[in-house]
């Protein structure tokens, strides 16, 4: 969420940013919110004047009564009553205007970083760098669920009977591999100085609207019926929410946390949810990393975060690349974002396994996360990135470590988490 004063003083910058994100339907909101703000400030000035006159008029009444001027005192009393009625009207008007302003301000997108490429959608994202040499074996690689089924590692039919499409049972060595990857990712991030955390898996509505846009909320979040609670779509939601309404001493920054959680997503409008694969599903587990820092430090942390994911995947012999997300592919709160994609030998292309985002002070402004610095209080910057998210990550793992006989190699880094096992055999 932008600073209203910034919008008021820089309307053309805000409008150009909206155009750069190809959201022209939101352009009228800029002039609308500026006009509403003008009305609100005028109402506040009038209300403050009425409050200031209240004591003055009360003293007048007392003085007039003391002088025996009862009729004049009654006239002043009538004025006090009229002022009170008008003040009540103004307070109602202020509350209504502030709510309308808040809703619009939460819809106007954040200002993107100048380095972000301008593009309409993810087809115009820009490749930054490749890490590791993509390898295509001289044998056919089956679809990932076929690999898992050959290892007795997945049961989609039972899951469909129990919960419907978009769910799965992981079994045996595949289930163990799933847990091993999460445990390895946890220790990998602890080794890089992050504090491990297991957060709440449900959050209140004010936290939801603090960490994401209304469009994201509608497309992703499951609401608990009859409760002011939502199932988290990623642990970033509750991890950033951890700091709601807090004033952090500057000396406590940066906050660097890595968190485990299950994730629940409606995947509204998603394609392929009916397929037998596990690329896009309603429930999965993930290791996340988040940072709360000083504004001037967020670009540095942004580069560190996506590099962590690259290094993790390379430690498991999986080739990856980074993509700079274009303006039209950025969610409204994001300033800048880089996707990490893993190589799929079967598809002969890369696919997304993680997304790193710098949100500037957007989440901090919504959640009122401030920093007490030597020159006064200011809003923190927040960042997040996927460490690893199986079972999607398992697709890349299985395809890149598959042997011609159907067995799957376990990279050295994962073997301690697999009881020393070096290969999974059909």
CATH assignment at residue 373 = 3.30.930.10
User: Do residues 146 and 100 share a domain?
Assistant: no
- Give me the pLDDT at residue 273, please: 44
User: Do residues 262 and 407 share a domain?
Assistant: yes
Q: Which residues of 312-350 are buried (b: 16+ CB within 10 A; e: fewer)?
A: bbeebebbbbbbbbbbbbbbbbbbbbbbbbbbbbbeeeb
In a domain, 112, yes or no: no
- 3-state secondary structure at position 74: helix
169, burial (CB in 10 Å: exposed 0-12, middle 13-18, buried 19+)? middle
In a domain, 389, yes or no: yes
Residue ending a domain, choose from 105, 134, 156: 105
Question: What tens digit of pLDDT does each residue of 175-200 get?
Answer: 999 999 999 999 999 999 999 999 99
Alpha carbon distances (Å) from 368 to 28, 227, 248, 298? 27, 23, 11, 18
User: Do residues 289 and 314 share a domain?
Assistant: yes
User: Do residues 77 and 142 share a domain?
Assistant: no
In a domain, 116, yes or no: no
User: Do residues 405 and 267 share a domain?
Assistant: yes
- Give me the pLDDT at residue 275, please: 53
In a domain, 188, yes or no: yes
User: Do residues 222 and 313 share a domain?
Assistant: yes
In a domain, 111, yes or no: no
- Give me the pLDDT at residue 68, please: 77
User: Do residues 144 and 52 share a domain?
Assistant: no
In a domain, 158, yes or no: yes
User: Do residues 175 and 90 share a domain?
Assistant: no
Residue ending a domain, choose from 46, 72, 105: 105
Alpha carbon distances (Å) from 162 to 46, 157, 171? 62, 9, 16
For residue 43, the domain's CATH number is 1.10.287.40
Whole-angstrom Cα distance, residue 81 to residue 290?
Answer: 54
CA nearest neighbour of 287 among 192, 410, 221: 192
User: Do residues 35 and 176 share a domain?
Assistant: no
Residue ending a domain, choose from 79, 105, 131: 105
For the chain of 426 residues, list the mean pLDDT of each consecutive stretch of 10. Answer: 95 98 97 97 92 76 74 79 89 96 95 97 96 93 95 94 93 96 98 98 95 84 94 95 97 98 81 63 95 98 98 96 97 96 96 96 97 96 96 92 96 96 95
User: Do residues 159 and 289 share a domain?
Assistant: yes
The tokens describing 74, both together, are 């009654």
The tokens describing 44, both together, are 């506040």
Q: Indicate yes or no: pTM above 0.75.
A: yes
User: Do residues 88 and 138 share a domain?
Assistant: no
- Domain limits for position 292: 122-424
In a domain, 114, yes or no: no
Backbone angles phi, psi at 28, to 5 degrees: -60, -20
User: Do residues 245 and 290 share a domain?
Assistant: yes
- Give me the pLDDT at residue 276, please: 58
- Give me the pLDDT at residue 262, please: 96
Q: In whole numbers, what is the pLDDT of the chain averaged over residues? A: 93
Total structural domains within the chain? 2
Question: What tens digit of pLDDT does each residue of 47-102 get?
Answer: 988 888 877 776 677 776 777 777 787 787 787 888 889 999 999 999 999 999 99
- 3-state secondary structure at position 129: strand
Whole-angstrom Cα distance, residue 353 to residue 373?
Answer: 37
In a domain, 117, yes or no: no
**Measured in Å, how far apart are the chain's first and last C-alpha atoms?**
52
DSSP 333: T
């Amino acid at each position: 969420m932008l600073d209203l004063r910034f919008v008021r003083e820089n309307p053309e910058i805000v409008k150009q940013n909206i155009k750069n994100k190809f959201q022209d339907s939101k352009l009228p909101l800029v002039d609308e919110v500026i006009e509403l703000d003008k009305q609100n400030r005028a109402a506040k000035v009038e209300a403050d004047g009425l409050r200031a006159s209240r004591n003055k008029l009360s003293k007048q009444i007392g003085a007039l009564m003391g002088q025996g001027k009862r009729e004049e005192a009654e006239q002043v009393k009538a004025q006090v009553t009229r002022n009170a009625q008008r003040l009540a009207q103004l307070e109602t008007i202020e509350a209504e205007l502030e709510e309308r302003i808040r809703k619009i301000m939460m819809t106007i997108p954040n200002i993107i970083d100048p380095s972000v490429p301008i593009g309409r959608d993810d087809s115009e994202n820009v490749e930054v760098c490749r890490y590791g040499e993509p390898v295509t074996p001289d044998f056919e690689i089956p679809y990932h669920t076929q690999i898992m089924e050959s290892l007795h590692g997945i049961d989609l039919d039972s899951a469909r009977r129990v919960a419907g499409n978009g769910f799965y049972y992981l079994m045996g060595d595949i289930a163990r591999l799933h847990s091993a990857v999460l445990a390895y990712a946890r220790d990998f991030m602890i080794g890089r100085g992050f504090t491990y955390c297991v957060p709440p898996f449900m959050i209140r509505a004010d936290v939801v609207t603090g960490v994401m846009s209304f469009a994201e909320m509608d497309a992703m979040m499951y609401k608990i019926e009859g409760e002011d609670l939502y199932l988290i779509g990623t642990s970033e939601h509750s991890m950033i929410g951890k700091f709601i309404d807090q004033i952090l001493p500057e000396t406590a920054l940066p906050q660097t946390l890595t968190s485990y959680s299950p994730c629940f997503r409606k995947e509204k409008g998603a394609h392929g949810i009916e397929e037998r694969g596990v690329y896009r599903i309603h429930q999965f587990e993930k290791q996340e990393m988040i940072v709360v820092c000083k504004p001037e430090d967020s670009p540095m942390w942004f580069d560190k975060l996506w590099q962590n994911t690259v290094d993790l995947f390379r430690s498991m012999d999986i080739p990856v690349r980074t993509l700079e997300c274009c303006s039209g592919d950025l969610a409204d709160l994001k300033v800048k974002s880089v996707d990490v994609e893993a190589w799929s030998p079967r598809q002969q292309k890369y696919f997304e396994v993680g997304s790193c985002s710098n949100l500037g002070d957007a989440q901090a402004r919504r959640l009122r996360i401030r920093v007490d610095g030597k020159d006064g209080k200011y809003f923190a910057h927040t960042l997040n990135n996927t460490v690893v998210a199986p079972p999607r990550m398992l697709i890349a793992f299985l395809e890149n470590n598959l042997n011609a006989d159907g067995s799957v190699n376990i990279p050295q880094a994962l073997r301690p988490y697999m009881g020393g096992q070096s290969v999974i055999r059909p």
